[in-house]
Amino acid sequence: MCSVLQIAVLTLVFCSVHSFTIQSYFPSTGNSIDDDEFSVSTLIEKANANVGMLLSVVMFGDIVVYTGLQNADPCTARGCLWPKSSDGNVYVPYRISNEYSQRERDTIIQGLQSFSRCTCIRFTPRRNQRDFVDIQCRSGCYSFVGRRGNGQVLSLNRRGCVYHSIIQHELLHALGFNHEQTRSDRDEHVRILLQNVIRGTEHNFWKIQNSRNLGTPYDYNSVMHYGRYAFSSNGQPTIVPVPNPDVSIGRANQMSPTDILRVNRLYGCSTYHLLLFLLLTHLHTINMPSIYFISTYLTSMLATYLSTNEPTTLPVFFPEAYLPTSLTQPSKLFVCLLSLPCYLEAYNVLA
């Protein structure tokens, strides 16, 4: 066990280095999405043009359902969830096709690993498990909703689907999540203009009456939300926010804090993961984190690390993408140094 002095010195070094190293919490090698033309739903819609004609399935945007099962439960019961392990994590086996380039493969793996930073979901390479997510380069971007048994295909076509946001979007489907605008309470937050929707694609806007909302508010910033012009037949909006029609929708380039919270709630992740989520939200919405909040979070985090030796814990103490951009480098150093009492407290608790 390290001495108190060693912990103090390591903390100072870590904070000094980290405060001058700008890194994204969710790495984004590969394509970037900055424009309405490249919103998640627009990219998926373009990539999935005519895909349904090639499959023995019905396409709901990027959700696939086997023909004849169109009215099947859209994963609103716990039976379609991935099982939780005795250690509190949810291990989801995956296999990635060899068709991808190394860069594309790295981008996909980063999307898979992004879940382990804020949730108890652990996407792990498949060994011999029966049920797994089979990531393939098929025609388009699509996934089944929830665990379906055996190798369930999650398609990420090399031309149009290997974006960080789309990867997270499809993985959320595989975990059991539907599109945000299909929520049972969606009519309170958006207006669907079916007169502008391409004929024959109206099913993409069906509402799920018993959707699992998990006690969370409607989220315009969810990576699962369609864009304003999704499936438009005439260039006019198909989804308009209410009461403020000018609210931006469908522009997310990664999971929102609410997306992360829902994963934690759906799979009953531990307090540690919820603390991490709350920290990210806190740092994202204020100019200076409170000492008490930082202390509570870091004490829990270090205690978890020292007791489990999880290698993914320490590197995400201060995800810089969630620090306010107004913070100067010295301010970041100051914020990080606030954690020193937490390290000492955790050391005393676990010694």
| Rounded Cα–Cα distance for residues 189 and 225 (Å) | 12
Region of 33 please: left (phi>0), alpha (psi -120 to 50) or beta. Answer: beta
Taking alpha carbons only, the member of 228, 227, 238 closest to residue 196 is 238
Supply the DSSP string of 190-252, one letter for each residue: EEE-GGGBPTT-GGGG---TT---TT----TT-TTPPPTTTTBSSSS-SEEESS-TT---S--
170 is catalytic: yes
Q: Is 164 annotated as a binding residue?
A: no
Q: Strand, helix or coil at 155? A: strand
Token pair of 198 as six digits: 């391409």
Q: Is 282 annotated as a binding residue?
A: no
**Integer-rounded Cα radius of gyration of the chain:** 21
Q: Is 169 annotated as a binding residue?
A: yes
Strand partners, 142: 155
Given 37, 45, 99, 170, the catalytic residue: 170
Rounded (10°) CA dihedral 204, 215, 111, 240: 40
**99 neighbors 158 (Cβ within 8 angstroms):** yes
* Active-site residue set: 170
Q: Which residues are annotated as a binding site for Zn(2+)?
A: 169, 173, 179
Q: Which residues are annotated as a binding site?
A: 169, 173, 179
